[in-house]
Chains A and B, each alone.
Chain A
Amino acid sequence: MASDLQAAPAPLTDAPAGPAAPAGERAPWLRRTWTALGAPAAGRRVPGTAAIAVVAAAVGFLACLYTTGQGSNLDYSDAQSHLTIARRVFDSKAPGFEQLGTVWLPMPHLLLMPFIINLWMFSSGWGACVLGIIALAATASGLYRICALLGYGRTGRLAAVLVLLANPAVLYTYTTALTEPVLLMCLVAGMAGLAHWATSRRRMSAGELAVFAGIPSGAAVLSRYEGWALVLTGTLFVLITELRRSRQWREATKMAAAYAMVPAAAVLWWLSYNWAIYGNPLEFMFGQYSAYAQQKNITDGGLLPTKGNLGLTLWTFHWSLLETLGIVVLAAAACGALVVVYRRGLATSTLLVAVTGSAYAFALLSLYLGQTAINNDHSLPSTWWNNRFALTALPLAAVLVAAFVHQVTRRRRTRSWIVAFLLLALAGQNAWWLQDPAARMAILAEGRMSHDSNTYSFAAARWLKQHYDGGGILLDESARGNAVLPMMGIPLANIYNRAAGDHFGPALQDPAKYAKWVLVNVEGEDAPLDSGFTDLVHQAISASPTFNARYAVVFSSPTHRIYERTVN
């Protein structure tokens, strides 16, 4: 069977290629751009891609201006940790690529590195903002291209882009150093590559598939484990599509192998890296800092009710999804799913849409198997935790919304009314959110909660930033509430922490010899079970009989304390 995509009718262009701009028109480029946004894709050239990228970048820049102005881009502890990991590759007591890993995959940090060489870009979070702006532009244009390649017209394509750009929670995430922006960028790029391959006018070679889809998917594999799911479903998609086209297993296997080659190499590299650096290829899965180790604490504490409970899994995840994408988008997406299945059955285009949901499926499976934990105001227990994982469903939702909008706006007579209604609904959704964003949008609520729970550590970091006058700093950055190094804004080469490698142990043994400043979390064993590692520095200084004789407390809060050395 020939690919249904190739046999698909010409996409709606919404508006005919307009006549030449009338003389004296003020902004002919605007008309050209508008026309391009509805023009059909021609091979790799999808008209309007650049325009979407520019608009998305502009929106991203405005969002960054807002969040950095508020300081909320550093609310998430993980965001600060990611910034720190990226910087310590070149600024640390033990610089080197060995700083990457173990639980977190390295791509976001590698991409972040060039943007945080400057200390201000690092401490303000603007380095992550720049990467986020790029990622937002890439994600938006990638979604636009997928929709164009699927044959959707201008309104459908723009609807998909709006799902991304008209969502405050999404925009907020793209201003932080969290891994979601990079993950979504790579996922969408990989999916766009697959869409290009599946819809190409000419038969693309195995190498082209490897480059256009395999490399971004490989990047996704090295960004987050959801990327691994994309590779699995993507490989299956290539196999089925090629089999339908050529009816040759050999050809289908070759193309599937070509697609999976780069991601497989990425996985292999990651295993080798873990083996070379930590002596265990599965260190990222079962090591001291792995997700498994963290989940084990939570499971042992009975705080992971979604594990093995399908109903609770679906309930929890979809509340996060609802409180992230909103009811309007989800309703449109659900309708879009019906449209896609009803109109195209199990055609290649339907499979392609399904591939965009692979990360979403992985997130659900992961939650059900107890590999991850998500909490929101409807979960058990009720708190805010990992709600950004719901963003894995964003590509699927955006494409389904595009399918729905494309379908309902096919009739020229009613198009304007329907578009107006949908825009009004979206605006209404946003207006409702913005009345109390930190309570109604899960990602923002979690950020606010993180900010609130880190009030004292942030205060300690700011104090040290103001009063630091040189000398070493001893702290256990990996301990709960201590991920504040960007906020501190001090070159990491001055810091003795777990990432300092061989320098950390002696500094713990004899702080005064190495560190002028010591920052500790004093919560000790009283801290909540799932809130992170115990502060090793606090343990060490508590056990040291001479510490208090050499250091004086210069900053104190209920959770954090800073000591300054008084005796050389």
Chain B
Amino acid sequence: MAEQAPVLSTARAGGPAGSYDDGVGVQSVALGQSLLRAGLITPEQLDRALERANIEGGLLGRHIILETGLNRRHVYQVLAEQWDAPLVDLVQHPSDDALLEQLSFTEVSEPGWLPWHLEDGVLTVATAVKPSDEIRRAALRIPGAEQVVFRTTTDWDINHSIQRAFRNHLLYESAERLAEEQPDGSARTALNLWQRLLPAVLLSCLLGGLLLDAQLTVIVLLTAVNVVFLVSIGFKTLASLRQPFDALHDGAAAKAQARELERRGVGTGALGDPSGLAGRIPDGELPVYTILIPVFREANIINKLLANLGQLDYPRSKLDVLVLLEEDDTETIEAAKRSRPPEYVRILVVPRGEPQTKPRACNYGLTFARGEYVVIYDAEDRPDPGQLRAAIDAFRQDAFERRYLAPGRRPLICVQAALNYFNADQNVLTRLFAIEYTHWFDSMLPGLDRSGIPLPLGGTSNHFDTRLLRLVGAWDPWNVTEDADLGLRAAVEGYRVGVINSTTWEEACSQVPAWIKQRTRWIKGYMVTAAVNTRNTVRYVKRTGVAGAVGFLGLILGTPLAFLAYPLVLGFTVVTYVGYNFVGLVLPEWLLLGGVVSMLFGNAMMILVSGVATWRRHGWRIAIFALLNPAYWVLHAVAAWRAAWQMLSSPHKWEKTPHGLDEEYHDDGRWSA
């Protein structure tokens, strides 16, 4: 079988895991033999690579490199001899950009070859795939080309050339396209005119009210903050309370299903899985999975991420790991190059440009993604080994259900895995952070999912259908919580976000100043997302329905407002006491009682629901810290007010969260177990 795809880069998705001749191909075997003769690999290595190729599908060259760690240039040197096309180095001898500009990005990014030089009607094509008549015909369509000759190059050289030649195109794609095509859906303009004026109007009303009727104004203010607080708490509580009932329901449904299957004599092998999809998918049938790993100023990260991704239960030949580095982050780039990553890891250097944000890097990476599915991880992330398979199961289950059971249901664009912290017990802050995340991902998100409320995505471990992700415009690089924004945009565009029962263990920020900065960005992102989606409220409500409106009010808008209101809620007693004793402020009895009840009830509910969720996940030693939630919310309030200020002064400012603050934390094995 001829190698029609790049030898080393694209495994044949879903390719047959058939016989030696069918699955691997004569040419590939010749490649193996050549490498063997050259003494670059051993017979054992070749056998193992052949076995892998037969099981997982894909191309032998890729398996040889994965198996042996052989330099790709050696392999291509052998291929060059086979193809009778000498090897060229596109870094030392770059391609003619004028030639490339005559092609579109998609014309050169997919096939694995590109026009190198055109001289006197002779077009030299540099290819990483076997020269073929098809390529020759395509190349001859380039103006001025009368004859085609081939040179061999590596897929890495091709990528490098494309990045260089299409720099501007890629920059536009990753930073500007969404904002240009959907100005109202992008946060490039964070606040429009009325949104910029709103804080000033509210402040003026407050000051005017205090001058005209201070007592009434204070009553209105305190009532408003308490209502906002209670609405937010109520939303979080109700979303959380669904979870146990849903779990009971699911358990009962699974039992009923099992009984029915048994009655029909189907057996229990496919318990709870009418589609028969829950069985383990053979490696050869797995699609290519792209993993985006944006890294900024985190030198020596490659080894860590390899160790973490090495735990994934997924064939390496089907992994397409893209490490996204920023052009001006030379230290990390150098470190990454020095680390000599394996073949399935590609290092992409994102060109310098504004805004220098994670979503811009992800958009850049997405243009190079080869996978049917794509997921974002941080370099420190430790995903559950079966997470990629769980995501694929969820997508396949959704496709099955939409086909046979619920044709009208929105397609699944993304599944979110739970995030939690491996350093939960490092210090008090990490414990509280773990409690918050556990409550959010274990309790609230499943509740929101079952209620049909659009889910704001978490920062990592969101698994997308790559095609649909591109359709909705991918991430907004101007939004500092591009994840939350994308979750809502997906809902507006008619897609659904689900959750999967799999966890990614992350590093919790363990220092208060860094935490405040991180949280400032998150809350500011919610504010920006709220601003973006209130520009066209009718469209939003129309497309997402009541559930979308409730979720938006309770979560996207309610969360920042609740945090802003929290100081007044918590300090209610002090405010009323000081007001009574020093200003002569007399508040109505209902407000006094309501304020205290709001403060006590609200905090108690948060302690309860987050404590219970954490108890189940981490045990009581972490859960007991939920009692400190009221103090933790004070930090939220500080971050919220910083975020409010930054909304006005620097809405696109991205305060990076430092990683590796867990050095003093000695993992006792519990979290890595």
Q: Which residues of A contact B (CB under 8 A)?
A: 43-44, 201-205, 207-208, 210-211, 276
Contacts and interface: CB of A to CB of B under 8 A. Distances in A.
10 closest Cβ contacts across the A-B interface? A207-B428, A205-B427, A202-B666, A207-B427, A211-B428, A203-B664, A208-B427, A208-B428, A207-B429, A44-B621
A203 B429 CA distance: 15
Contacts of B621: 44
A208 B429 CA distance: 9
B428 A202 contact: no
Interface in B632-673: 664-666, 668
A159 to B, nearest CB: 28
Contacts of A276: 577
A276 B581 CA distance: 9
Interface residues of B, number: 13
B577 A202 contact: no
A43 B670 CA distance: 12
B241 to A, nearest CB: 24
B628 A202 contact: no
Contacts of A204: 427
Contacts of A43: 668
A121 B612 CA distance: 29
A551 B510 CA distance: 71
B426 interface: yes
Contact of A201 (B510, B625, B628, B666): B666
A140 B666 CA distance: 30
Nearest to B577: A276
Secondary structure class of chain A's binding surface, majority of residues:
loop
B664 A210 contact: no
A211 B668 contact: no
A210 B628 CA distance: 12
Contacts of B628: 211
14 contacts: A43-B668, A44-B621, A201-B666, A202-B664, A202-B666, A204-B427, A205-B510, A207-B428, A207-B429, A208-B427, A208-B428, A210-B428, A211-B428, A211-B625
A43 B426 CA distance: 12
Given A201-B666, A208-B428, A211-B625, 18 more contacts: A43-B668, A44-B621, A202-B664, A202-B665, A202-B666, A203-B664, A204-B427, A205-B426, A205-B427, A205-B428, A205-B510, A207-B427, A207-B429, A208-B427, A210-B428, A211-B428, A211-B628, A276-B577
Contacts of A202: 664-666
Contacts of B666: 201-202
Nearest to B578: A276
Most chain B beta-carbon neighbours within 10 Å: one of A201, A203, A204, A207: A207
Interface of B: 426-429, 510, 577, 621, 625, 628, 664-666, 668
Contacts of A208: 427-428
Nearest to A211: B428
Contacts of A210: 428
Most chain A beta-carbon neighbours within 10 Å: one of B428, B625, B628, B666: B428
A209 B383 CA distance: 32
A276 to B, nearest CB: 6
Contacts, number: 22
A205 B426 CA distance: 8
Most chain B beta-carbon neighbours within 10 Å: one of A44, A203, A204, A205: A205
A207 B577 CA distance: 30
A191 to B, nearest CB: 19
Contacts of A205: 426-428, 510
A254 to B, nearest CB: 13
A211 B428 CA distance: 8
B29 to A, nearest CB: 55
Contacts of A44: 621
Contacts of B664: 202-203
Nearest to A209: B428
Nearest to A203: B664
Nearest to B625: A211
Nearest to B511: A205
A355 B89 CA distance: 73
B158 to A, nearest CB: 49
A210 B631 CA distance: 13
A204 B428 CA distance: 10
Nearest to A210: B428
A207 B510 CA distance: 11
B47 to A, nearest CB: 45
Nearest to A206: B427
Most chain A beta-carbon neighbours within 10 Å: one of B427, B577, B664: B427
Contacts of B625: 211
A105 B510 CA distance: 36
A357 B665 CA distance: 33
A42 to B, nearest CB: 8
B531 to A, nearest CB: 35
Contacts of B668: 43
A207 B508 CA distance: 15
Contacts of A203: 664
A211 B666 CA distance: 20
B207 to A, nearest CB: 29
A276 B510 CA distance: 37
A205 B423 CA distance: 13
B668 to A, nearest CB: 7
B273 to A, nearest CB: 40
B88 to A, nearest CB: 55
B576 to A, nearest CB: 12
A208 B666 CA distance: 15
A16 B636 CA distance: 49
Contacts of B428: 205, 207-208, 210-211
A207 B429 CA distance: 8
A309 B78 CA distance: 101
Nearest to B666: A202
B389 to A, nearest CB: 35
A43 B428 CA distance: 15
A44 B619 CA distance: 13
B585 to A, nearest CB: 15
Contacts of A207: 427-429
A203 B664 CA distance: 7
A211 B431 CA distance: 12
Nearest to B628: A211
A44 B664 CA distance: 17
A204 B426 CA distance: 8
A202 B666 CA distance: 7
A201 B666 CA distance: 9
Nearest to A201: B666
Contacts of B577: 276
B620 to A, nearest CB: 11
A207 B666 CA distance: 17
Nearest to A45: B621
Nearest to A258: B428
Contacts of B426: 205
A201 B668 CA distance: 10
A204 B665 CA distance: 9
A44 B510 CA distance: 19
A207 B631 CA distance: 12
Contacts of B665: 202
A530 B472 CA distance: 84
B297 to A, nearest CB: 25
A111 B621 CA distance: 22
Contacts of B427: 204-205, 207-208
Most chain B beta-carbon neighbours within 10 Å: one of A44, A203, A204, A211: A211
B580 to A, nearest CB: 10
Contacts of B429: 207
B510 to A, nearest CB: 8
A201 B625 CA distance: 21
A210 B429 CA distance: 12
A276 B666 CA distance: 46
A484 to B, nearest CB: 33
Contacts of A201: 666
A532 B577 CA distance: 34
Nearest to A204: B427
A359 to B, nearest CB: 26
B118 to A, nearest CB: 65
